[in-house]
Every structure is written in structure tokens, then in C-alpha cells.
């Protein structure tokens, strides 16, 4: 069990309206990612669900029960913090056992649960160490261990991977996804990194200035972003936006075309541009171009497409994959 | 080579101050040790002679000797107890966001800036005086007989006055430690179902351990030599009820004019301080290593 419902939830800090009003439904067992630029209110929203902040208005329901005024511990949720928030003076074993000890469980049961959690998370050899003697990835796993022993109705993750290096982040991403499939528990995950959102989520909630811009599966958001903000935020490298004559010819204010939907050629095409920067990633090359009459455009081509600084290349957008937006920035239906 | 040179240079540059400190410490200690074996009385300064361990025997057989050692330990222990527990309590309160936080903090810290004889006189004449002190007024208000603090509870009165002076120090150190506690850890504990008491026991106290150790060690150094507060309030009495080792040495030297005997007492005080330091480091010193 672990469905979470937000009804007209709002949060005000003094004068600042961080979250004007949000309605959201999180189903049992879902992996939901809150994503948005920094300061968009995603962490605040998570803390409201956790009960670490009080809502200024609206209601929060967990499994249909109103928990708006309940203390954090009474909500049956577990949270993994950005800094991991491990207790530095306790061994890994005591860290993981702490919530169980607070729940006054039997010593034998605690031991068994801690051992099980340690086995799942590959921490068995580290149980007697202090957090300061562990690597970043291990600390992360301890924090997750402390969360799973409580068998919460939902997990809350607050940017848990932002303190890890790139390689470890990739591994932990897989581990958390794997854990979700094993436990089948609801997970709410906050990140500013759209790659994490795309790779892990069942459902992505895109937030901007405290408002939900769009809710949907990763591919829905990728294929049909509802507005300019979502279009620009989801996808890497970012979507190119073209205004002016070309957009008007498609009867739109702004035309959006993803870097991977531009066909490049060295002989002919609709537009011509000069290569400013060529990022060779091996399999792919990202070309940052200055296109005549349009401006900067990013294009993605295969690694075998040789291009250097200053080369002249021809581009043709794939019309079928074009996104069109009206003057309010809302997507026009095809 | 470069590091080697830097090291040598650094040592050379530090040498004068190290030497000065060493001389500053060694010379008085050596002189005290020397005088403690001399028969040297200021009433008869021309007649100085070697007496062996007589001064130590004299000091040891003084009826006030064991009581003064006991009193010294009671003052140290009592003040530490009050300041550490009270300091944690006040620090916890000051850590809360309140109106006029800056003013309140300055008020709390101010006793530390009052010099010991002044503080003791204020307590003696304005607070603990049996006829016109504040405590007497409170007693009268409830229809009780005022307590003559310095006659009835001399040592306890000294402990209260000294504790009042050192409470700000403990509070200040513990407050800064409290403020460095990670907010996310507190929140994590809250989510883990720890109530305020449990958060205090499992999170705050271990976090404060190092600072409490610092408070205990620094205060002990100063509390072993409490003197001014005794001089201006009880003058060591009644009898020897509030005489500590430092005060006994003062009596021997400046009231008995017995430099030799006082020096022997000084050496005994050094030994006592080292014994206390030894047990303290064994008890709490390991907190500093973490």
C-alpha cells in the first residue's frame, strides 16, 4: 500500500508563494520523479509530503487517510536525504537499526532485519564501520538501508545521487531502479537531472515555479511536451527553438526540433550553418552550429560524420517530428 | 631539501617562544620545589636552613589538609556538574529562534565578564545576605526564616557563585556545538520516529561529547585554583569548611609567613592537579580523538 494524493496543496514562506496550488495523484507502486530547475519547489513539495514542512493550505492523503496534520513519523514514509544524514557516531549496523529501535521492536527481529537489509545492499562486510569510514556510494546504500528496514508505504528520495561522481551515479541509478522492482513500493524521487528522471521514472512530474507543467511517462513527455518549458527541459541536448519565417511557414509562433531530428549533410539541405563546436562522444557527435538566418542550433549526428570547427554543413529538419508552439508557448496539435 | 630547510627554519623561529614558555614554567616550579625543602619563615628571614621533608610533614599533619583537598574536589565536581548540565539546558533554549535573540545571548554571556571578587561581593551583599539579600526577601515572602548562606552552607554557596561565573562559558561552547549539528540529521531522526528525548540522547549528546570534554578540561584547570571568591565571602570558614587547597596555601604563606610550608603545599597541589588530570583524560579524553 502506498498511494499519495495531494489536494490543492500550497506552501507560503513569508511573502514568497513557493507552491501556489498543486493537485497530484501518486498510485501505489509507482516510481514518480519530480523534476525541474533549482528553486522550482520540488524539494519543498517532497518535504510537505514527508511532513517536515507544514502545508499552508490543502490536504495530503496517504492510502486515503488524511495525514495533513500528522507528524512525520506517523505517516509511514521513509526518506533518503541529499547529504544521507547518517548518524556519524553510530556504526552502520546501529544506523540501520535506529528506526527499528525507536519503534521498540524485539532485539532478535531487529538483528534479522538489519542482516537482511545489509545483504540486499551488499553492506554485510561494513556493518561495524562508522559512516566516515565508508565511500560515498556505500553511505548512500546505508541511507537506503535505514529506509527499507522500516518497510514504509512509500520512499522519498531528495536528490540522493547529486553528491556522487558520474560513474557511481550511473550504478546507483540502476540499483535504485532494481530495488524498486524488488520491493514494488511507491517511490517519490526528486532531482534536477532530467537524465535521472527519464531513466528511472514510471511517471515524471515536471515542476516550474511551484506549478506542475506536465505529468506523464518519460516517453510521453519526450514525444509530446505540452509547452515550451517541458520541451526545453526534457531531452538532452536541449530542443532547438526556431522563431521567425520558418515557424510562420508552419503556422506557429515557435517551432521546436530536437537535435536528433535534424538530418545533416555535407552537400545539400534546407539550412546551411557553420560548425562552432564539435563534441565527439564516440558513438555520437554533438555539433553546435551557427545557422544562417536562424542562429545557434545543436545537432546530433553519428560518430562517423566528420566535422571540424569552421566547416560548412547543410541541415534539414525532420518535419514529422517537428513541435509547434503558439504565442503563449502552448503546444499546437499536429 | 626544501622541506628540510623549512622545517629547520620553523624550529629556529619557534625556539625563542618555546624557550620562554619553558623557562616561565620551569623556574617557578624549581623555586617552589627548592623552598619546599627549606625552613624559610618571613618572621625570621635570615635564618634559612635545609629541613628535608619537614615542610611536607607539617603541611600533611595540618588538620585542614584533608578537608581542603576534599573541598577542592567538591568545588571542581560541583561546578562542573552545574555548568555542564545547566549549560546544555540553556544552550538548547538559546538554539530556538526567539524574539530579541542577540540581546538575550549577550545577557546570558555577561556574567563571564564580571571579575571574580566583584561577582562574589555582589552575591555576598546583594543576593545571599541573610537580612537584605534577594534570597532572604524571597524566604520572607513565603514566611520562612532566611538562610544565612555563608554560615550554614559555606561550601555550597561558593559552588553556586563559581558556577554562576562559569555557566556562560559552558553555554557558549555548547551552543556553538549545537548550532553545528546537521539539520538533515535531526529531520532524519524525526522521520525515523525518534521523539525529542530520543533525539537528544542519540543525536545531540553524542554530537556534543567533544565540546563537553573541552568544557570539562578547561574549567577543571581554573576550578582547581578557586581563590578570590573564597577570600571575599567566607574567608575559608567557618572553621575550615570552605578552605580549598589554594586557599590553605595562601593562609600558610601570607597569614603564617611560612614560605617553606606553603611551597610544600604548592607541590602537593601540583601533584593533585596531575592526578585529577590523569583520571579526567582517562574518563573523557578519548572523546577528543574522534
**Integer Rg of chain B from CA:** 24
| Residue in chain A nearest B185 by alpha carbon | A85
Highest mean pLDDT: which range of A131-135, B13-17, B178-182:
B13-17
Q: How far is B183 from chain A (nearest CA, A)?
A: 9
What per-residue confidence (pLDDT) applies to A204?
A: 92
| Residue in chain B nearest A74 by alpha carbon | B193
Residues from chain B contacting residue A150 (CB–CB below 8 Å): 192
Complete domains list, chain A, with CATH? 4-231 (3.40.50.300), 244-325 (2.40.50.140)
Contact A156, A98 (CB under 8 A): no
The answer, yes or no, to whether residue B1 has pLDDT greater than 80, is: no
Instruction: For chains A and B, count residue pairs whose Cβ atoms are closer than 8 Å.
Output: 58
**Arithmetic mean of pLDDT, A107-134:** 87
Distances from the Cα of A290 to the Cαs of A231, A261, A276, A294, A333, in angstroms?
A: 21, 17, 7, 8, 29
| Spatial distance between the Cα atoms of A190 and A208, rounded to a whole number of angstroms | 13
What per-residue confidence (pLDDT) applies to B74?
A: 92
Q: What confidence tens digit (pLDDT) does each residue in A49-100 have? A: 888 888 888 888 888 888 888 888 888 888 888 888 888 888 888 889 888 8
Mark yes or no for CB contact A98/B202 under 8 Å: yes
| Spatial distance between the Cα atoms of A257 and A263, rounded to a whole number of angstroms | 11
Q: What confidence tens digit (pLDDT) does each residue in B171-210 have? A: 999 999 988 888 888 888 888 888 888 888 888 888 888 8
| Cell triple for B199 | 533525539
CA trace torsion A62, A64, A69, A70 (10° rounding): -50
Backbone φ and ψ of B229, nearest 5°: -60, -35
Mark yes or no for CB contact A85/B206 under 8 Å: no
Q: How far is B95 from chain A (nearest CA, A)?
A: 19
Q: What is the mean pLDDT of chain B?
A: 86
Indicate the burial class of A160 (C-beta count within 10 angstroms; 0-12, 13-18, 19 or more): buried
**Which fold does the domain B37-288 belong to in CATH?**
MetI-like fold (1.10.3720)
Mark yes or no for CB contact A98/B189 under 8 Å: yes
A31-45, B40-54, B114-128 — which is least confidently predicted? B40-54
Contact residues of A toward B, CB < 8 A: 50-52, 71-73, 77-79, 81-83, 85-90, 98-99, 102-103, 146, 150
Mark yes or no for CB contact A87/B184 under 8 Å: no
Considering only the beta carbons, identify the residue of A50, A79, A103 that sits closest to B193. Answer: A103
Residues from chain A contacting residue B207 (CB–CB below 8 Å): 88-89
Mutate to test the interface with B, among A87, A91, A159 (most CBs of B within 10 A): A87
Looking at the DSSP assignment, which residues form a beta bridge with residue A314? Answer: A265, A272
Q: What is the residue extent of each domain of chain B?
A: 1-35, 37-288
What per-residue confidence (pLDDT) applies to B88?
A: 93
What per-residue confidence (pLDDT) applies to A334?
A: 62
Q: What confidence tens digit (pLDDT) does each residue in A207-250 have? A: 988 888 999 999 999 999 998 999 988 888 899 998 888 888 88
Mutate to test the interface with A, among B193, B213, B287 (most CBs of A within 10 A): B193
The verdict on whether omega for the bond into residue B238 sits within 30 degrees of 0, i.e. cis, is yes
pTM: 0.77
Considering only the beta carbons, identify the residue of A73, A90, A146 that sits closest to B190. Answer: A73
Flag whether residue B97 sits within 8 Å of chain A, measured between CB atoms.
no
Amino acid at each position: 500500500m502506498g498511494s499519495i494524493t495531494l489536494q490543492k496543496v500550497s506552501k507560503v514562506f513569508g511573502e514568497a508563494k513557493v507552491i501556489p496550488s498543486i493537485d497530484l495523484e501518486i498510485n501505489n507502486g509507482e516510481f514518480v520523479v519530480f523534476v525541474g530547475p533549482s528553486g522550482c519547489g520540488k524539494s519543498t513539495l517532497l518535504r510537505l509530503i514527508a511532513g517536515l514542512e507544514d502545508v499552508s493550505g490543502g490536504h495530503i492523503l496517504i492510502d486515503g487517510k488524511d495525514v495533513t496534520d500528522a507528524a512525520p513519523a506517523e505517516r509511514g514514509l521513509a526518506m533518503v536525504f541529499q547529504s544521507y544524514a547518517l548518524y556519524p557516531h553510530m556504526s552502520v549496523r546501529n544506523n540501520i537499526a535506529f528506526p527499528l529501535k525507536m519503534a521498540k521492536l524485539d532485539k532478535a527481529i531487529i538483528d534479522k532485519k538489519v542482516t537482511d537489509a545489509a545483504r540486499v545492499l551488499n553492506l554485510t562486510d561494513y556493518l561495524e564501520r562508522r559512516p566516515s569510514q565508508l565511500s560515498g556510494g556505500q553511505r548512500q546504500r546505508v541511507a537506503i538501508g535505514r529506509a527499507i528496514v522500516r518497510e514504509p508505504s512509500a520512499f522519498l528520495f531528495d536528490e540522493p545521487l547529486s553528491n556522487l561522481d558520474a560513474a557511481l551515479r550511473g550504478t546507483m541509478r540502476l540499483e535504485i531502479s532494481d530495488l524498486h522492482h524488488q520491493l514494488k513500493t511507491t517511490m517519490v524521487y526528486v532531482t534536477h537531472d532530467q537524465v535521472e528522471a527519464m531513466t528511472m521514472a514510471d511517471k515524471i512530474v515536471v515542476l516550474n515555479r511551484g506549478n506542475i507543467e506536465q505529468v506523464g511517462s518519460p516517453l510521453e513527455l519526450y514525444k509530446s511536451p505540452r509547452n515550451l518549458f517541458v520541451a526545453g527541459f526534457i531531452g538532452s541536448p536541449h530542443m532547438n527553438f526556431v522563431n521567425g519565417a520558418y515557424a510562420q511557414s508552419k503556422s506557429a509562433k515557435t517551432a521546436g526540433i530536437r537535435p536528433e531530428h535534424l538530418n545533416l549533410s555535407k552537400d545539400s539541405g534546407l539550412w546551411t550553418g557553420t560548425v562552432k563546436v564539435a563534441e565527439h562522444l564516440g558513438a555520437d557527435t554533438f555539433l553546435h552550429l551557427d545557422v544562417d538566418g536562424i542562429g545557434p542550433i545543436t545537432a546530433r549526428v553519428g560518430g562517423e560524420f566528420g566535422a571540424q570547427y569552421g566547416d560548412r554543413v547543410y541541415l534539414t529538419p525532420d518535419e514529422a517530428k517537428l513541435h509547434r508552439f503558439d504565442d503563449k508557448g502552448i503546444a499546437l496539435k499536429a | 631539501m626544501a622541506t628540510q630547510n623549512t622545517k629547520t627554519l620553523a624550529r629556529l623561529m619557534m625556539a625563542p617562544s618555546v624557550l620562554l614558555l619553558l623557562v616561565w614554567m620551569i623556574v617557578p616550579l624549581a623555586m617552589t620545589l627548592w623552598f619546599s625543602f627549606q625552613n624559610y619563615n618571613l618572621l625570621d628571614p635570615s635564618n634559612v636552613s635545609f629541613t628535608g621533608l619537614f615542610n611536607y610533614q607539617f603541611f600533611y599533619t595540618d588538620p585542614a589538609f584533608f578537608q581542603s583537598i576534599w573541598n577542592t574536589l567538591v568545588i571542581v565536581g560541583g561546578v562542573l556538574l552545574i555548568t555542564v548540565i545547566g549549560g546544555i539546558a540553556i544552550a538548547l533554549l538559546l538554539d530556538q529562534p526567539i524574539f530579541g535573540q542577540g540581546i538575550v545571548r549577550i545577557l546570558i554571556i555577561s556574567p563571564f565578564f564580571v571579575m571574580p571578587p566583584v561577582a562574589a561581593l555582589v552575591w555576598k551583599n546583594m543576593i545571599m545576605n541573610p537580612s537584605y539579600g534577594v534570597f532572604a526577601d524571597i524566604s520572607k515572602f513565603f514566611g520562612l526564616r532566611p538562610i544565612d548562606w555563608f554560615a550554614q552552607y559555606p561550601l555550597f554557596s561558593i559552588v553556586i557563585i563559581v558556577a554562576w561565573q562559569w555557566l556562560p562559558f559552558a553555554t557558549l561552547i555548547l551552543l556553538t556545538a549545537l548550532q553545528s549539528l546537521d539539520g538533515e540529521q535531526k529531520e532524519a531522526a524525526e522521520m525515523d520516529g525518534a521523539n525529542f528525548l530520543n533525539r537528544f540522547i542519540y543525536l545531540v549528546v553524542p554530537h556534543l561529547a567533544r565540546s563537553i570534554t573541552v568544557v570539562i578540561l578547561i574549567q577543571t584547570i581554573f576550578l582547581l585554583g578557586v581563590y578570590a571568591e573564597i577570600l571575599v565571602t567566607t574567608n575559608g570558614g567557618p572553621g575550615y569548611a570552605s578552605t580549598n587547597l589554594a586557599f590553605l596555601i595562601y593562609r600558610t604563606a601570607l597569614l603564617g609567613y611560612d614560605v617553606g610550608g606553603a611551597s610544600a603545599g604548592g607541590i602537593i597541589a601540583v601533584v593533585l592537579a596531575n592526578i585529577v588530570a590523569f583520571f579526567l583524560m582517562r574518563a573523557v579524553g578519548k572523546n577528543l580523538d574522534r
